[in-house]
Amino acid sequence: MAIKVRLFRPGDAPRIAEIVQRCLREVNSRDYPQHVIDKMCAHFTAERFIELSASRLIYVAEGDGVVVGTVSRVGNEVYTMFVDPDFARRGIGRQLVQQVEVSAARDGYDRMETGASITAHGFYLKLGYTDVRTSETEFGFNYILRKTLPPAQAARPL
Ligand SMILES: CC(C)(COP(=O)(O)OP(=O)(O)OC[C@H]1O[C@@H](n2cnc3c(N)ncnc32)[C@H](O)[C@@H]1OP(=O)(O)O)[C@@H](O)C(=O)NCCC(=O)NCCS
């Protein structure tokens, strides 16, 4: 299945919220207590993604007309990286992160930062991010990671 990464449209919000809820309940629940999962599920609703789209650049990965993953960027920070569990380990997460890296480099940033869940820590290490510190947030324990971006990555049209 060919995956295309494009910018979020308001009509994507219900599907993105569904993907996030599935990830939280089926994948992240291995690493976080139920009350944290419930809190995150209550937070990441379709309405929340519409709100967030005013302050974040939200991208979606689409294959065969179906949204299968999402990631967001604010400045040089990566947020809300989620791939439908049915489509995990097919390179979709990598493609989404590459998109935000290219977009950040185009805006003049020379490094990316992210707060990774315990669940996604190994994923970010695989993508070349390195640990900076750990953090306790309202959504539990996180790793803060950083990656230096190569200068002037080629722009890729969306
Ligand atoms: C973590 C997540 C985004 C990864 O997306 P994905 O599409 O499955 O990842 P990819 O297939 O692009 O993987 C890229 C590389 O990372 C590796 N990888 C993926 N998930 C990994 C994990 N959880 N731990 C260690 N390595 C992982 C892959 O094997 C691949 O390595 P390779 O190139 O050597 O084959 C996805 O599994 C997910 O949504 N998880 C639950 C939600 C979550 O925790 N999101 C992050 C919030 S901070």
Indicate the class that CATH gives domain 3-109.
alpha beta
**pLDDT value, residue 156:** 53
pLDDT computed for residue 2 by the predictor: 96
**Best mutation site among 123, 124, 129 for ligand 1 pocket (most ligand atoms within 8 Å of CB):** 123
What does the pLDDT read at residue 152?
A: 58
Q: Whose CA is nearest to atom 18 of ligand 1?
A: 123
Say how many Å lie between the first and final Cα of the chain, rounded. 18
**Contact (CB, 8 A) for 144 and 114:** yes
Residues paired with 67 in a beta bridge: 62
Over the stretch 101-113, which tens digit does the pLDDT of each residue have? Answer: 999 999 999 999 9
Q: Tell which phi-psi region holds residue 123, choosing left (phi > 0), alpha (psi between -120 and 50) or beta.
A: alpha
Give pLDDT < 70 ranges for the chain: 152-158
* pLDDT for the residue numbered 151: 76
The pLDDT, as a whole number, for residue 23 is 98
DSSP 28: G
Q: Count CB-CB contacts under 10 A for residue 151.
A: 8
Nearest CA to ligand 1 atom 34: 126
DSSP H or E run through 105: helix 92-106
DSSP run (H or E) holding 15 = helix 13-26
Beta bridge partners of 145: 114, 131
Total number of residues shown for the chain: 158
**pLDDT given at position 150:** 86
CA of 83 to the centre of ligand 1 (A): 8
* pTM score, whole prediction: 0.95
pLDDT number for residue 36: 96
Residues with beta carbon inside 6 Å of ligand 1?
23, 27-28, 81-83, 88-94, 116-117, 119-120, 122-123, 126
Of residues 47, 27, 49, 48, the one with CA closest to residue 37:
27
